[in-house]
Structure formats: C-alpha cells, structure tokens
C-alpha cells in the first residue's frame, strides 16, 4: 500500500472539538461556477479531505478531484488474494477516499428480525425486519429471489404495520456514531449520515408490483408510507445532531430508476415521493449539511426535480443506463454536483488504455465545473483485478489534479 501524501494545509474554517463541529468558510456563490475565482487565501498544495469536498460543493478552487468508491464483497475477496491488505478499508485508503460514513439508517417495523424459514447447501430463505420473505445466496452477493411481503394492502399498513413503525426506538446507535465521527475527524475526512429514502422503503416493504400499482390506484397510501418513513429518518438524524455530532452531509440511497427511465413518471414522483425528498434536503440545509442522493438507472427525466428539491449532488450516474457527465456537466454542473459515471464495464476489461480513455473523458467534463467527484458508476465488480484498480488510482493521480 502506498503511503498517503503529506497534507500541506493551512487553517480553513473553524473546528470545535467540544461540539464535534467544523464550520466551513462562507463562499460567494454569485460568481460564475464555470470560472472559479481566486480563493480568499492562497490554496495549499494539498487540502484535507473535508476542505476539498467543501470546496467542490461550492465550485471553489481545490487541489484534486474528491474520491470515493464502493466494492462488491467478492471483489474484496479477490483482491485479498492479489495483495490487498485490510479489506475494504485498505482499498479506500489506497484510493485516498475523502468521504467517511458515520452510520446507515433504514427504519424497519421489526428491527433485528431474521427468521430462518428454510435452507439448503447454496441458499437460505428468511423473513427479515421488513416482513419480506426472500431467498439469499450463501457466501456470495446477488439479487435475492423475492417470495413475499407482509404488507400487501393498505389494510395491512393501517391495520398494524404503520403502528409498528411508529413504536420503534431509534434505529441508530449514538455512541457508535460519535466514535465513527471522531475517527473521521482525526483523518480530516468529510463525514455523512447515510440511509434509505422512502421510495426504496415502499419497495422493500411491499414489493415492486404492489408499490407501482398502488402509486396509480391508492396514492394516499404511498404518500403516508413515505411520510412515516421520512419522519423516522429525520427523528433519528436529529437525535445524532442533538448529541453534539455535526456531520458534513446526508448521503441518501434509493434506486428509483431502471436502464431507460424512472420507475414512475416524473409527475407521479413529484406528487408522491418528491415532497419527502425535499424535506430531507431542507433538513440537511437547515443543519449546515449538504445532500447527496444515490440512485441507479436513467434519471435524466427528473434531474430538474432533484434540483428543485434542493439536492446538492447525485451519484453514481450509471453509464450503462444512459447517464453521461459529458452531457450533464455543461447543462447542470453549476446547480448540481456530479459524483461518479466512470463505467465499471470498461474497468472490467482490465485494458488500461480503454480505462484511461474512459476516465480522462469523464474527468475532463466534470472538472470543468469544479463540482465533480470520482466514483465508479456502480460498485466495482470482481472481474476488475487489484492491479487494474491500483493502476486506475495512478491515473487519477495523473489526470485528476487541478494544479
């Protein structure tokens, strides 16, 4: 593993250890994002991760593109056999990731439930904390086979499951969040609270078929599920803030699209789910945080709605689904930070000339706005070798610097 580059930095903002808070400097956003003005202070050769990401969001000059990535479990296992040390943490250290997750939050009506129904040599069937019955592979990743859900009607929801949700305690452990926050701050990383939003919740609780039909035939049911779920997310995040922990952002997950479009029309999204997306963005901004939204699929048709809701950034911009930072950055880069879009299918060729061409094209487009961060367009698959991934990092070193 290569050593981390020395951090030659200057004082930038104010750090309060007592309140676990970093107050970033205030930037003038009236300047044209595509033509960054000179910094109020001389830019150091290397910023801390937290400073770098803050400046990316503000379209201010910074030293290099911020970085992060995710990996399939099988990828990490392969890489261990090829020399990777310390698993996923080792891969992120090699990448010099700038982001640090403090917690994952997905409110569930039966927290901790995992009832084994049946198993064989290769699979297990369980009923989980959402009441979902599914068959999972043993010892490998993969989409489970969905076999049933406890919530199949609005009567199920209003009969007991809604109440079950509302009676659940906090879904986050404040002391563990505080420990993670202190570890991240010791490394000057940009910290975030993570969790699943309400569209993902409806599909987890009720399944795709019931959810999508209900969006058309029983919209008030979907609105209520979304509201209850978002209430619980905000309740849990507020408890973290009340404990004196001040993250830099929310990183909210919810796959609401497939390879051609969103799973519902933009108008239906605007009516049913968008109000709670806006509530999350408003909560983030009211508490000095940025909002990153993750969704796979083709979301070109709702990007304007994301901006209207107050999203600061979208990730991972799945290339296979028609997302392309080269088209998005000139149109939206001044209003929406772009995070990802480097095609894992190209990485999987392990052909460095093809990988370099892909990476350079996406970096060039994103970096023109000063509002771009590196990430693959999906989790790194096990077909990518550790040697290839380390070479990609070298390419990021070469092509991802502003100075």
* Average pLDDT of the segment spanning 235-246: 98
Taking phi over 0 as left and psi of -120 to 50 as alpha, with beta for the rest, 139 belongs to left
Structure tokens at 240: 């973290």
Band (pLDDT 50/70/90 cuts) for residue 40 is very low
The Cα–Cα gap between 280 and 317 comes to 20
Q: Which helix (H) or strand (E) holds 392?
A: helix 386-399
Residues with Cβ within 8 Å of 196's Cβ and at least 6 positions away in sequence, in order, are: 105, 106, 204, 252, 253, 254
Residue labelled with tokens 């911009």: 317
pLDDT tens sequence across 74-122: 999 999 999 999 999 999 999 999 999 999 999 999 999 999 999 999 9
Cα–Cα distances in angstroms (integers) from residue 69 to residues 262, 263, 339, 389, in the given order:
24, 25, 10, 11
Share of residues in the chain with pLDDT > 70 (%): 89
Would you state the pLDDT for residue 403? 82
Asked if the model's pLDDT at residue 307 lies above 50, the reply is: yes
pLDDT at 39 over 80: no
Task: Say how far apart CA 143 and CA 96 lie, in whole Å.
Answer: 30
What pTM, to 2 d.p., does this model score? Answer: 0.89
pLDDT in tens, 196-231: 999 999 999 999 999 999 999 999 999 999 999 999
Measured between alpha carbons, how far is 74 from 125 in angstroms, rounded to an integer?
Answer: 21
Q: What is the pLDDT of residues 124-174, one digit of tens each?
A: 999 999 999 999 999 888 889 999 999 999 999 999 999 999 999 999 999
**Number of Cβ atoms within 10 Å of the Cβ of 28:** 9
Kindly report the average pLDDT of the chain as a whole number. 91
What secondary structure letter does DSSP report for 105? E
- Go through the domains of the chain in sequence order and give each one's CATH number: 14-107+168-399 (3.20.20.210), 109-152 (no CATH)
Q: Is the pLDDT of residue 185 over 70?
A: yes
> With bands split at pLDDT 50, 70 and 90, how would you rate the model's confidence at 41?
low
SS3 assignment for 133-192: EEEEECCCCCCCEEEEECCCCHHHHHHHHHHHHHCCCCCCCHHHHHHHHHHHHHCCCEEE
Residue 354 pLDDT > 70:
yes
């Amino acid at each position: 593993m290569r050593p981390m580059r020395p951090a030659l930095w200057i004082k930038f903002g104010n750090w309060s250890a007592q309140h676990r808070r970093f107050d970033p400097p205030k930037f003038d956003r009236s300047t044209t994002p595509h033509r960054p003005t000179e910094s109020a202070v001389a830019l150091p050769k290397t910023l801390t991760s937290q400073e770098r990401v803050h400046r990316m969001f503000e379209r201010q000059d910074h030293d290099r593109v911020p970085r992060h990535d995710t990996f399939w479990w099988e990828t990490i296992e392969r890489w261990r056999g090829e020399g990777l040390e310390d698993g996923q943490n080792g891969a992120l250290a090699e990448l010099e990731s700038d982001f640090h997750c403090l917690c994952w939050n997905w409110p569930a009506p039966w927290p901790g439930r995992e009832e084994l129904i049946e198993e064989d040599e290769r699979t297990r069937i369980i009923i989980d904390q959402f009441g979902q019955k599914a068959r999972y592979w043993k010892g490998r990743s993969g989409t489970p086979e969905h076999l049933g859900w406890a919530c199949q009607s609005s009567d199920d929801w209003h009969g007991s499951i809604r109440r079950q949700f509302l009676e659940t305690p906090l879904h986050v452990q404040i002391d563990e969040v505080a420990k993670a926050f202190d570890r991240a701050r010791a490394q000057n990383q940009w910290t975030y609270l993570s969790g699943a939003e309400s569209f993902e919740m409806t599909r987890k609780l009720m399944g795709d078929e019931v959810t999508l039909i209900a969006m058309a035939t029983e919209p008030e049911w979907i609105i209520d599920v979304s509201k209850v779920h978002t209430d619980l997310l905000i309740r849990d995040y507020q408890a973290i803030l009340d404990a004196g922990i001040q993250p830099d952002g929310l990183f909210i997950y919810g796959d609401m699209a497939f390879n051609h479009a969103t799973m519902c029309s933009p108008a239906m999204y605007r009516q049913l789910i968008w109000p709670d997306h806006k509530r999350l963005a408003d909560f983030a901004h009211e508490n000095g945080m940025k909002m990153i939204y993750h969704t796979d699929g083709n979301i070109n048709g709702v990007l304007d709605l994301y901006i209207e809701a107050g999203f600061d950034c979208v990730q991972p911009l799945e290339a296979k689904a028609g997302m392309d930072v080269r088209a998005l950055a000139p149109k939206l880069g001044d209003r929406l930070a772009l995070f990802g879009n480097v095609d894992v299918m190209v990485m999987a060729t392990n052909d460095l000339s093809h990988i370099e061409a892909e990476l350079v094209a996406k970096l060039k487009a994103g970096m023109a706005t000063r509002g771009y961060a590196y990430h693959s367009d999906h989790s790194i698959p096990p077909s990518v070798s550790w040697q290839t991934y380390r070479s990609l990092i070298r390419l990021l070193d070469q092509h991802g610097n502003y100075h």
